[in-house]
Homo-oligomer: A and B are copies of this chain.
Amino acid sequence: MASNRQTIPPRARRRRVGRPSGDDNDLRARLLDAAIARFAREGIGATSLRAVAADAQVTPAMLHYYFGDKAQLTRALLDERLVPALAPMRARLDQVGDDPATLVAGFVAGIAEIVRKHPWLPALWVREVLCEGGELREALFDKAIPQFPQMLAQRFAAAQKDGRLNPAIDPRLLVVSLVGLTLFPAAGAPIWKRAFGAHDLDANALSAHTLALLDGGVQPPRTRRKSNAIRK
């Protein structure tokens, strides 16, 4: 809403009409970058192609030239940005063994790496996957993470059968909890950093905390067996 007054074009940064000279050969990638940044910040539905074009200092017609229409742009974003961003996680989890502790550690580290490399991802995930009616939810169900959560849950369940996982937790919900302890804090970082004034907490601190919580829970090592405040 606020950034849409372009009737007076800034004289400085204005391209001449016609084919430009020089090497602007990765413009398509720049358009994708601009689009994904806007989509993450405002949501796909609320983002106009004009805004994306303005961010990339280009006219809306360029988006049509490179992508056709908005749906195809979104699809390109999914295929060329989101799916590749998530891909390393699968490889990583295939490498670590079947032990729950290493699986969990691998997941936490994997999300941390993804978030570090693609800062737009948590917000986009929340908006377009977590929210009902998000435009990427169905697509991700179909192609990106076909049976990824199920695979994780099954490995947890197998470990639980072998007595290598806390028997009181649910293997499927553990996957949900892992997302809630990694992607969710990443998406909410602006909030809690401000709420706590916690500018000393970086990604490493978050990972360490999360791993400690997942490893031992809230109680201190000593009183684990004696204090049965939450014992069924």
Interface of A toward B, CB cutoff 8 Å: 41-43, 45-46, 99-102, 104-105, 123, 126-127, 129-133, 137, 141, 149-150, 153, 162-170, 172-177, 179-181, 184-185, 187-188, 190-192, 194-196, 198, 201, 205-206, 208-225, 227, 229-232
Contacts and interface: CB of A to CB of B under 8 A. Distances in A.
B227 A101 contact: yes
Contacts of A213: 166, 169, 174, 177, 214, 217
Contacts of A41: 132-133
Nearest to A108: B230
By secondary structure, the A interface counts as: helix
A165 to B, nearest CB: 6
B180 A184 contact: yes
Nearest to A230: B215
A101 B218 contact: yes
A223 B100 CA distance: 12
A215 B215 contact: no
A132 B38 CA distance: 11
A191 B164 CA distance: 27
Given A130-B188, A218-B101, A229-B102, A208 B168 contact: yes
B220 A217 contact: no
Nearest to A205: B170
